[in-house]
Amino acid sequence: MSKKGSSNWMYGRRSLGSKIFDTFNVLFMIILMIITIYPFLYVLFASVSNPLLLMSHQGILWKPLGFTLKGYMLVLRNAGIKNGFLVTFFVVIVGTACNMIFSLLFSYVLSRRNLMWHSVITLLAVFTMFFNGGMIPTYIIVRDLGLIDSLWSLILPGLISTYNVIILRTALRSVPAELEESAKLDGAGDLRILVSVLIPVIVPTIAAITLFYMVGHWNAWSNALIYIKTPTKFPLQLVLRSILIRNQTEGAMSGEAYYAPGEDYAARMLLKYSTVIVSIIPIVCVYPFIQKYFTTGVMIGAIKG
C-alpha cells in the first residue's frame, strides 16, 4: 500500500494518542470478529457435544462437551433433509445456468450503445428495480402460468436480476472496442462475439455474478413457501425452517413430520445444531471464492454502474 508507506515518513513518529487509538482499534476488531464468529462456533461445538452434558451445561461453550457424531447421523437419516438437498441442488444448478444465460444475453443487449431503442430497453428494465406489482399479483400470475407446485416457480420469477445485469453490462463496456472490431472484420456475428471475444475477457465478473446467483438460490426459501405445496418438493431452507423454528405459526405442523415418534428432546436438539452446520458448509466452502472475486469484479461494476 503506497498510501500507508507515504504516510509513515510524512507524518513522522506516531503520537501517543495515535498509538492508543491503534491499540483500541485492533482490540475492537478482535472483539468484533469474536462476536461475528462465536454463534457459529457455539452451534458447531453443540452439534458434536454429548446432549446430556450439553443440557446440564450453563453459559458459554469453550469446547465440545464430549464427542459424538449422532446428530450428523440423524441428519443423514432424515428423509426430509435429504430430499431438501436434492431439490436445492437442482434449483442451484439449473436455476443458476438459466440466470447466467439470460443475464449475459440481456447485458450484451444493454451494452450496445448504437441501438436506437437502447434507452427504452434500459428504462423498461431499470424501472422494475424501483416498482413492482407486489406479492399477490405476482402469485396470481405464477398460478395462472400453472407453475404452482413446480420447481420452475423457484427459477423463472427471478430469472434476471437487473442489478446483476447492470454490473455485467458495465464489465462488457469496459472491454476495448478494438477486440470486437477485429472479430467483426473476421466475420463474427453477435453470438460469436459475445461467446468467444467478450466473455473470456470478463471472466472474473461472470464468476462473481454466478456465485451470487448460486448463493441466492441456496439461501432462498420464501418463493418455495408461497408456491410449493408438496413437502417432497421443499428446498433445503424450507425443511430447515420447520426443524429450526418449530413453534412458529404454520411451520409447526409440518415440522413435526421430520421427527420419528419417540425421539427425545436431546436428539431433536442435536439434529437442530447439526442441520445448521450441514447447511452452511457449502456456503463456507464457496465463500473464499466469492471473497476473491467481489473485490476484482463486482466492486468495479458497482462503482461505475
Partner 1 sequence: MKGEKVMNYLGKRSLKYRIVRDFKTNYFIYILALICLSYYFIFCYAPMGGVLIAFKNYKPTKGIWGSQWVGFKYFEQIFSSYFIVRLFRNTLLINVYDLLFGFPAPIILALLFNELTSTKFRRVVQTVTYLPHFISQVVICGIIVTFLSGDGLVNQILNMLGKESVIFLQNPRYFRTIYVGSGIWQNVGYGTILYLAALSNVDPQLLDAAAIDGCNRFMRVWHVTLPGITPTIIIMLILRIGNMMNVGFEKIILLYNPSTYETADVLSSFVYRYGLLEGNFSYSTAVGLLNSVINFTLLVAVNYISRRVSEISLW
Interaction of residue 134 with partner 1, rule CB under 8 A: yes
159 contributes a contact to partner 1 by CB under 8 A: yes
Cell numbers that stand for 197 in this block: 471475444
To the nearest whole angstrom, how small is the minimum distance from the Cβ of residue 270 to partner 1?
Answer: 12
Write down the least CB distance from residue 221 to partner 1, Å: 6
Cα(223)–Cα(158) distance, integer angstroms: 10
296 binds partner 1 (CB under 8 A): no
* Residue 18 sits in the site that holds partner 1 (CB under 8 A): yes
| CB proximity list for 65: less than 8 A, separation 6 or greater | 45, 49, 50, 53, 54, 57
**Residue 221 binding partner 1, by CB under 8 A:** yes
For partner 1, the closer CB: 174 or 219: 219
Q: Which of 176, 250, 264, 285 binds partner 1 (CB under 8 A)?
A: 250
**CB of 57 vs partner 1, minimal distance in Å:** 8
Over its C-alpha atoms, the chain yields an Rg (Å, rounded) of 25
17 near partner 1, judged by CB under 8 A: yes
Neighbours of 137 (CB within 10 A): 10
Cβ atoms of residues 267 and 74 within 8 Å: yes
Q: Does 245 bind partner 1 (CB under 8 A)?
A: yes
26-85 binders of partner 1 (CB under 8 A): 26, 28-29, 32-33, 35-37, 39-40, 42-43, 58-60
Tell which one of 41, 97, 253, 302 touches partner 1 (CB under 8 A): 302
Residues between 258 and 287 with contacts to partner 1, criterion CB under 8 A: 272, 276, 279-280, 283-284, 287
Regarding 199 and contact with partner 1 (CB under 8 A), the answer is no
Number of residues written out for the chain: 305
- For the stretch 219-228, contacts whose Cβ atoms lie closer than 8 Å and that sit 24 or more positions apart, written own/partner, are 219/283, 220/91, 220/154, 220/158, 223/153, 223/154, 223/157, 223/158, 224/154, 226/135, 226/139, 227/139, 227/142, 227/147, 227/148, 227/149, 227/150, 227/153, 227/154, 228/149, 228/151, 228/153, 228/154
Near partner 1 by CB under 8 A: residue from 175, 199, 201, 244: 244
Q: Count Cβ atoms within 10 A of the Cβ of residue 202 and give its class: 0-12 exposed, 13-18 middle, 19 or more buried.
A: buried
> 255's torsion region: left (phi>0), alpha (psi -120 to 50) or beta?
alpha
Query: Minimum Å distance from CB 305 to partner 1?
Result: 12
Would you say 194 or 202 has its CB closer to partner 1? 194
197 binds partner 1, rule: CB under 8 A: no
Query: Residues 182, 196, 222, 232: which binds partner 1 (CB under 8 A)?
Result: 222
